[in-house]
Amino acid sequence: MKVLVALLLTLGLFSCSSNDPKGILDEEKMTEVLQEVMLLENYYQSKYGSPSVYKAALDSSVEVIYKRFNTNKKQFSKSFDYYAQDPELFKKIQAKIIENLNSKHL
């Protein structure tokens, strides 16, 4: 999980700036896709530990998520960068993910 948090923070810090939302996933869809990707990354991290061991399997699994949400790696990355530029909006997305996950465990 620490690797996931570090990855997300790193991607957010190094995202390029753009005010053009063209080709960006809407906030709701981004929240759903990011939630699924984070859960998958957490699963692989807890099961295998070292990213070098599970990277190929994780990449294949994430592709399935992209297909399910009718997106791709490029659009997801662009959207992640876009939302990460606005810390308050990104916190809102993260809070929604936490809320979604908490409601599933009640």
pLDDT digits (tens, 9 = 90+) for 16-72: 444 557 899 999 999 999 999 999 999 999 998 888 889 999 999 999 999 999 999
What total of structural domains would you count in the chain?
A: 1
How far from the centroid of its chain's Cα atoms is residue 38's Cα?
6
**pLDDT tier, 106 (very low <50, low <70, confident <90, very high otherwise):** low
What pLDDT was estimated at residue 15?
Answer: 46
Token pair for 89: 């909006």
Q: Does 96 reside within a domain?
A: yes
Residue 17 lies in a domain: no
Does residue 84 carry a pLDDT above 50?
yes
For residue 93, give both structure tokens.
Answer: 């997305």
Domain assignment present for residue 51? The answer is yes
Instruction: Give me the domain span that covers residue 36.
Output: 26-104
User: Sign of dihedral through CA atoms 104, 65, 37, 94?
Assistant: negative
Answer with the residue of higher pLDDT: 1 or 42. 42
pTM: 0.76
Whether residue 5 lies inside any domain: the answer is no
Considering only residues 15 and 85, tell me which one the structure prediction assigns the higher pLDDT: 85
pLDDT of residue 77: 97
pLDDT of residue 51: 85
